[in-house]
Structure 1
Amino acid sequence: RSSPTSRASSRSGPTPRPRTASRSPTRASSPLLAGVVVRALSVVVLRLFGPVGRLAERNALRNPRRTGATGAALMIGLALVACLSVVGSSMVASATEELDKSVGADFIVQDSGAGRPIVPQAAEALHAVPGLEHLTDYTYIKAKITAPDGRTVDEGITATDPTYQQDVRRTALSGDLAKAYDKNAMSVGEDYAEKHGVKVGDTLSIAFKTGESAKLKVAAITSDDTNIDRGAMYTNLTTATAYIAADKMPQNVAMFGKAEEGKEKEAYAALKSALAEYPVYKVQNQADFKEDLKDQIGQLLNIVYGLLALAIIVAVLGVVNTLALSVVERTREIGLMRAIGLSRRQLRRMIRLESVVIALFGALLGLGLGMGWGTAAQKLLALEGLEVLEIPWPTILTVFACSALVGLFAALVPAFRAGRMNVLNAIATDG
Structure 2
Amino acid sequence: DAEVAGVGRPLRVRAVAGAVVGAAGAAALAGCAVSERTASAASLLGLGVVLTLIATVIAGPLLVRPVIRVLGGAFPALFGSVGRMSQRNALRNPRRTGATAAALMVGLALVGGMSVASESMTASFDRQIDRTLGADFVIQNTNFLPFPKEVTDEVRGTEGVGLVVRGRFTPVAVRLPDGDRVETTAAGYDPRLDEVANITYTAGDSAAALADGRLAMDRDFARDHGVRAGSTVPVEFQGGRSAELTVGALTDQDSAEGFGTQGGLYFGLGTLERYAPGGQDSALYVNAAPGTGDDELRARLEAALDPYPQVQVRDLADYKQLVHDQIAVLLYLVYALLGLAIIIAVLGVVNTLALSVVERTREIGLLRAIGLARRQLRRMIRLESVVIAVFGAVLGLALGLVWGVCTQQVLALQGMTALAIPWVTIVAVVIGSAVIGVVAALLPALRASRMNVLAAIAHE
C-alpha spacing 1:72/1:148, structure 2 compared with 1 (3 Å)? closer
Q: Report the AA paired with residue 134 of structure 1.
A: L
Q: Structure 2 vs 1, CA of residues 370 and 427 (structure 1 numbering), >3 Å: closer, same or farther?
A: same
Question: Residues 160 and 288 of structure 2 are in contact (CA less than 8 Å); yes or no, is this contact kept in structure 1?
Answer: yes
Q: Distance in 1 between matches of 2:332 and 2:411?
A: 21
Tell me which moved more, 222-231 or 187-196: 187-196
Question: What is the CA deviation profile of residues 350-378 of structure 1, one whole-angstrom value per residue up to 9, with x for unaligned ones?
Answer: 11111111111111111111111111111
Assess if the C-alpha contact under 8 Å between 1:189 and 1:222 holds in 2. Answer: yes
The equivalent position to 1:163 in structure 2, one of 192, 195, 220, is 192
Q: How does 1:73-88 map to 2 (within 5 A)?
A: 73-88=103-118
2:187 counterpart letter in structure 1: T
Aligned runs of 1:42-191 on 2, under 5 Å? 42-45=72-75, 47-113=77-143, 115-142=144-171, 157-190=186-219
Question: What does residue range 374-413 of structure 1 map to in structure 2 within 5 Å?
Answer: 374-413=404-443
Partner of 1:348: 378
Partner residue, 2:449: 419
Distance 1:42 1:232, change over 3 A: closer
**What SS does the aligned partner of 2:264 have?**
coil
Alignment counterpart, residue 315 of structure 1, candidates 328, 338, 345: 345
8 A contact 1:141–1:158 mirrored in 2: yes
Which residue of the partner structure matches residue 304 of structure 1?
334
- The match for 2:264 is 232
How much does 1:155 deviate? 6.2
Counterpart AA for 2:457: I
Q: Report the Cα offset of residue 64 of structure 1.
A: 1.7
Aligned amino acid, residue 235 of structure 1: F
Distance change (3 Å), C-alpha of 1:79 and 1:186:
closer
Letter in 1 for 2:450: R
Q: SS at 1:341's partner residue?
A: coil
Question: Does the Cα contact within 8 Å between 2:123 and 2:420 map onto a contact in 1?
Answer: yes
Return the match for 1:30 from 53, 60, 67: 60
Distance 1:316 1:244 in 2: 63
Change (3 A) 1:229 1:44: farther
Assess, with a 3 A threshold, how the Cα gap between structure 1 residues 426 and 267 changes in structure 2: closer, same or farther.
same
Name the TM-score, length of structure 1 as normaliser. 0.86
Hey, what's the Cα distance between the residues in 2 that align with 1:125 and 1:320? 65
Contact preservation (8 Å) 2:190, 2:268: yes
Report deviation, 1:135: 1.1
After superposing the two structures, state which structure 1 stretch, 159-168 or 35-44, moved more.
Answer: 159-168
Q: Deviations over 1:388-421 (max 9, x none)?
A: 1111111111111010110000000000011111
Q: Paired residues, what number?
A: 407
Q: Which runs of 5+ in 2 are unaligned?
A: 1-12, 19-53
TM-score, normalising length from structure 2? 0.81
> How far apart are the structure 1 equivalents of 2:180 and 2:448?
80
Kindly state the Cα deviation for residue 173 of structure 1 after the two structures are TM-superposed. 1.7
Local SS of the residue matching 1:425: helix
C-alpha distance in structure 1 between counterparts of 2:89 and 2:234, whole Å: 79
Name the SS for the 2:134 alignment partner: coil
Q: Distance in 2 between matches of 1:75 and 1:195?
A: 41
Of 342-351 and 251-260, deviating more is 251-260
Find the aligned partners of 1:176 and 1:169 in 2 and give their Cα distance. 11
Matched-pair contact (CA < 8 Å) for 1:158–1:233:
yes
For 2:205, give the aligned amino acid: D
Return closer, same or farther for 1:217/1:335 CA change in 2, 3 Å cut-off. Answer: closer
Distance 2:95 2:179 in 1: 68
The alpha-carbon distance between structure 1 residues 156 and 326, as it changes in their structure 2 partners (threshold 3 A), is closer
Task: State the AA in 1 paired with 2:442.
Answer: L
Distance between the aligned counterparts of 1:420 and 1:77, measured in 2? 34
CA offsets 1:211-246 (integer angstroms, 9 cap, x no match): 9776655432323632531423333324544x369x
Q: Counterpart of 2:122 in 1: which secondary structure?
A: helix
Instruction: Report the CA distance shift for 1:312/1:220 in structure 2 as closer, same or farther (over 3 A).
Output: same
Aligned amino acid, residue 276 of structure 1 = D
Confirm or deny: 8 A CA contact 1:46 1:353 kept in the other structure.
no
Pick aligned residue for 2:71 from 30, 35, 41: 41
The percent identity for this pair of structures is 47
Deviation at 1:169, TM superposition (A): 2.1
For the aligned residues, what is the CA RMSD?
2.8
Paired with 2:362 and 2:294, the residues of 1 have a C-alpha distance of 76
